[in-house]
């Protein structure tokens, strides 16, 4: 399989559209916010330029078919409220990992509850993948509940994988396989 372009994915309230460098200032609003990023990285982007460089890297990874980077837009306002990436994408191994950041004001509002079923359908039905992974900081209870509610299974804990300048954090690995997804449908 080879993707020529980043597809648009639509739900009732949200759009996943191609990540573009011109979105860097809007994305910096949440990617530079330490509270928003607390379960993802202890070192959020410090400048719009850092965000732009990250976008360039993601688009380069897309050209190499190892990532699909989207922005999440609220449909009615077209405001960018987050990002979603399928990264470590391998068509040979038929697997990917999910990465998501939702701006603080949209967290705990059901954004990923609405998007995840459509994303999983895209992964398993369109991309024909066999495995989708979500790794989260152990303290991220909201993501744990979301993944379990959508059929993911906890595989294990990677101990003290990330250091935030003060303490180490464990990462919990979750996955869902094609046959598990099909049996849920």
Task: Report pLDDT digits (tens) over 90-110.
Answer: 999 999 999 999 999 999 999
pLDDT of residue 154: 97
The mean pLDDT of the chain is: 92
**What does the DSSP 8-state code read for residue 43?**
S
Q: Hey, what domains does the chain have and what are their CATH numbers?
A: 9-184 (3.40.630.30)
**What does the DSSP 8-state code read for residue 21?**
G
Tokens of 179: 């046959």
For 3-128, strand residue ranges (E) read 9-10, 14-18, 67-74, 80-90, 95-102
DSSP H or E run through 148: helix 141-149
**What does the DSSP 8-state code read for residue 9?**
E
DSSP H or E run through 24: helix 24-31
150 vs 171: CA distance, rounded Å: 19
pLDDT above 90 (res 20): yes
Task: Report pLDDT digits (tens) over 114-142.
Answer: 999 999 999 999 999 999 999 998 988 99
67 vs 98: CA distance, rounded Å: 10
pLDDT of residue 40: 66
Residue partners of 61: CB distance under 8 A and separation at least 6: 67, 69, 87
Cα 150 to Cα 84, 119, 126, 136, 143: the distances in Å are 17, 11, 18, 15, 11
Residue 179's pLDDT band (cuts 50, 70, 90): very high
> Please, is 69 exposed, middle or buried when counting C-beta atoms within 10 Å of its C-beta (0-12, 13-18, 19+)?
buried
Predicted TM-score (pTM) of this structure: 0.91
């Amino acid at each position: 399989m080879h993707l020529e372009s980043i597809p648009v994915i639509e739900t009732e309230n949200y759009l996943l559209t191609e990540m573009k460098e011109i979105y860097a200032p809007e994305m910096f609003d949440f990617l530079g916010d330490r509270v928003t990023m607390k379960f993802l990285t202890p070192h959020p982007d410090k400048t719009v330029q850092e965000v732009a460089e990250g976008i360039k890297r993601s688009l380069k990874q897309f050209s190499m078919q190892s990532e699909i980077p989207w922005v999440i837009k609220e449909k009615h306002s077209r405001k960018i409220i987050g990002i979603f990436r399928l990264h470590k994408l391998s068509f040979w191994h038929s697997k990917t990992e999910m990465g998501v950041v939702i701006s603080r004001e949209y967290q705990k509002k059901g954004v990923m509850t609405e998007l995840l079923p459509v994303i999983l359908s895209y992964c398993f039905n369109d991309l024909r993948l066999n495995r989708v992974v979500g790794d989260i900081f152990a303290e991220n209870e909201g993501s744990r509940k979301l993944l379990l509610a959508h059929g993911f299974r906890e595989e294990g804990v990677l101990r003290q994988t990330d250091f935030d300048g003060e303490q180490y954090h464990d990462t919990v690995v979750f996955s869902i396989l094609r046959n598990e997804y099909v049996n849920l449908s």
